[in-house]
C-alpha cells in the first residue's frame, strides 16, 4: 500500500534474539546461550545480567530450537474429560502448580468425554513435542492411541481412571473403600432402603447382576463402577439384600434421565430413606428434585454425595459428602509424570501399571440423619 507524500513508515521491530541478549548483558553469545540453556558454569553475577537483559528486552526463547538442542520442549499436556467440571478444573491447578515449579508450561486439551476428540488431542500434543501427558481417559478399554504415545517414548499418567491391560501409571481416589464407608455410615443410622445414583460412560455400560444372596457389577475399573462395588459391598456386609429398583446408572449422554430415575424411586411402594449420589452432578439433580417436591432433608430423606463442591455449603441443609481432593490428585499425577520424564529410557518410564491412591475423607454436615 502506497504511503502519502511526506509520511514515513514506522520501522517494524523484530523480535529480540539471543545475540541481542548477549550484547545487552555484555557477554558472548555462547555465555548467554549457556545461561539460558541451564548447562555449564556461569557466575551468579553473569546469570543475573543475562536474566535482566531477558526481562528488559522481552526476549522469548525459540522453543523449537531449544527442543532440537536439548530434546525437551519444557511443555507437558493435560487431556481433560470436561474442563467445565469443578473436579477437573481443580486437578488442572494441581498439575500447573507442579509444572511451574519444574519450569514447564501446560497445554490443556478438552475432550467433552468423546473418544474421537481424545485421539485428536493426543495427536496435537505429540505434534507440539510435549515432554509428557497427563490424561483422563474417556475409555479405560479402548486406549490404543495412548499406548502408542508411551511406545513412542513419551511418558503418560492416567488421572482418575485406571486403564485396563496397560503399563501406564494411574492416580485415583479410593473410590470403592470410600463408598463402602459412606454406606456403612447410613446403615449405622438405621437406613436399610438406600438408593444409589451414578453416571456411566456410554461406551462402557456396566452389567449389574443381583441374585438372592449376592450382587455384583461387571465392568472396568473406573470411579462410577468402583463406587457401585463399594455400595454393594457395604450392603452385603450388613446382610441387606440389594434391590435393583434402588440402583440407577445413567449415561452421561442422557442427563434428562437423572431426574426420571430418582422420581421412579420416590414413587416406589417402599421408597428409599437415604440417597447416595456417586458424583456431583447426581447430587445436584437429587437436591433439586427433593426440594422441588417438598421432601424434607434429612427428616424424610437423607442425602449423601461424592465430591465436595462449592454449592453444597450454600444450600440448607448443607450436604454431607465424601471429599476427594482433585487438586492433590492433579499434583500427584504431575509429580509422577515429571519423575518418569527424569528417568532414562527403559527404566520404568511407563509406570509399570502401578497406581497411586489418594485418600478421601467423610465430611458430615446436616443432610444425613437417622432413618425415619
Q: What is the pLDDT along the chain (372 residues), one digit of tens a residue?
A: 444 455 455 445 577 888 888 999 999 988 888 887 766 788 888 888 988 988 888 887 655 455 545 557 789 999 999 998 889 999 999 999 999 999 999 999 999 989 999 999 999 999 989 999 999 999 888 899 999 999 999 999 999 998 877 889 999 999 999 999 999 999 999 999 999 999 887 766 777 788 776 787 777 778 988 999 999 999 999 999 999 999 999 887 787 888 999 999 999 999 999 999 999 989 999 999 999 999 999 999 999 999 999 999 999 999 999 999 999 999 999 999 999 998 654 454 444 568 899 999 999 999 999 998
Specify the pLDDT at position 97: 97
* Alpha helix stretches (DSSP H) within 40-111: 44-57, 63-70, 86-101
From residue 307, alpha-carbon distances to 311, 339, 362 in Å are 11, 28, 10
Residue 32's pLDDT is 84
Distance from C-alpha of 330 to C-alpha of 172, rounded to nearest angstrom: 10
pLDDT at residue number 328? 97
Q: What is the dihedral of CA 275, 276, 280, 285, to 10 degrees?
A: -20
The structural domains of the chain, with segments of one domain joined by +, span: 18-61, 70-173+327-358, 175-324
Q: What's the sign of the alpha-carbon dihedral 23, 69, 169, 110?
A: positive
Q: CA 74 to CA 351: how far, in whole Å?
A: 21
CATH of 175-324, one of 3.40.50.2300, 3.30.1540.20, 3.20.20.150, 3.40.50.2020: 3.40.50.2300
Global pTM reads 0.78
Distance, first Cα to last Cα, the chain: 82
Looking at 3.40.50.2300, 3.40.50.620, 3.40.50.300, 3.40.50.360, the CATH number of the domain 70-173+327-358 comes to 3.40.50.2300
Task: Output b/e per residue, 86-125; b: 16+ Cβ within 10 A.
Answer: ebbebbbebbbebbeebebebbebbbebebeebbebbeeb
Q: What is residue 3's predicted lDDT score, i.e. its pLDDT?
A: 47
* Residue 48, C-alpha cell as written in the block: 543475573
Contacts for 221 with CB less than 8 Å, ≥ 6 apart: 140, 161, 162, 164
User: What is the structure's pLDDT at 365?
Assistant: 96
**Are both 70-173+327-358 and 175-324 of the same fold?**
yes
CA 147 to CA 150: how far, in whole Å? 5
pLDDT of residue 2: 47
**Of all helices (H) and strands (E), which one includes residue 215?**
strand 215-218
User: Whole-angstrom Cα distance, residue 251 to residue 260?
Assistant: 13
pLDDT given at position 262: 94
Which CATH code of 3.40.1180.10, 1.20.58.1000, 1.10.260.40, 3.40.50.360 fits the domain covering 18-61? 1.10.260.40
Amino acid at each position: 500500500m502506497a504511503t502519502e507524500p511526506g509520511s514515513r513508515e514506522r520501522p517494524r521491530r523484530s523480535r529480540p534474539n539471543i545475540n541481542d541478549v548477549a550484547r545487552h548483558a555484555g557477554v558472548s553469545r555462547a555465555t548467554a546461550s549457556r545461561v539460558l540453556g541451564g548447562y555449564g558454569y556461569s557466575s551468579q553475577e553473569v546469570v543475573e545480567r543475562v536474566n535482566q537483559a531477558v526481562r528488559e528486552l522481552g526476549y522469548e526463547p525459540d522453543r523449537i530450537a531449544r527442543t532440537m538442542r536439548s530434546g525437551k520442549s519444557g511443555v507437558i499436556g493435560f487431556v481433560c474429560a470436561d474442563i467445565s467440571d469443578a473436579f477437573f478444573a481443580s486437578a488442572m491447578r494441581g498439575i500447573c502448580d507442579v509444572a511451574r515449579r519444574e519450569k514447564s508450561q501446560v497445554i490443556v486439551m478438552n475432550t467433552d468425554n468423546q473418544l474421537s476428540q481424545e485421539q485428536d488431542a493426543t495427536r496435537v500434543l505429540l505434534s507440539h513435542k510435549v515432554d509428557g501427558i497427563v490424561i483422563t481417559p474417556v475409555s479405560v478399554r479402548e486406549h490404543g492411541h495412548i499406548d502408542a504415545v508411551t511406545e513412542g517414548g513419551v511418558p503418560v499418567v492416567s488421572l482418575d481412571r485406571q486403564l485396563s491391560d496397560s503399563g501406564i501409571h494411574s492416580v485415583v481416589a479410593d473410590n470403592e473403600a470410600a463408598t463402602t464407608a459412606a454406606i456403612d455410615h447410613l446403615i449405622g443410622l438405621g437406613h436399610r432402603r438406600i438408593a444409589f445414583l451414578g453416571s456411566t460412560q456410554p461406551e462402557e455400560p456396566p452389567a449389574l447382576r443381583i441374585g438372592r444372596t449376592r450382587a455384583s457389577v461387571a465392568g472396568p475399573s473406573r470411579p462410577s463402577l468402583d463406587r457401585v462395588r463399594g455400595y454393594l459391598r457395604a450392603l452385603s456386609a450388613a446382610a441387606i439384600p440389594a434391590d435393583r429398583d434402588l440402583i440407577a446408572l445413567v449415561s452421561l449422554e442422557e442427563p434428562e434421565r437423572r431426574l426420571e430415575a430418582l422420581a421412579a424411586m420416590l414413587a416406589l411402594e417402599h421408597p428409599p430413606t437415604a440417597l447416595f449420589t456417586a458424583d456431583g452432578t447426581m447430587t445436584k439433580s437429587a437436591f433439586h428434585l427433593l426440594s422441588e417436591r417438598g421432601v424434607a432433608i434429612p427428616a424424610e430423606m437423607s442425602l449423601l454425595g461424592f465430591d465436595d463442591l462449592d454449592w453444597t455449603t450454600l444450600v440448607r441443609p448443607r450436604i454431607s459428602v465424601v471429599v476427594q481432593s482433585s487438586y492433590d490428585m492433579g499434583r500427584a499425577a504431575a509429580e509422577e509424570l515429571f519423575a518418569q520424564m527424569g528417568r532414562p529410557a527403559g527404566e520404568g518410564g511407563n509406570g509399570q501399571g502401578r497406581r497411586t491412591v489418594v485418600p478421601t475423607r467423610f465430611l458430615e454436615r446436616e443432610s444425613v440423619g437417622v432413618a425415619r
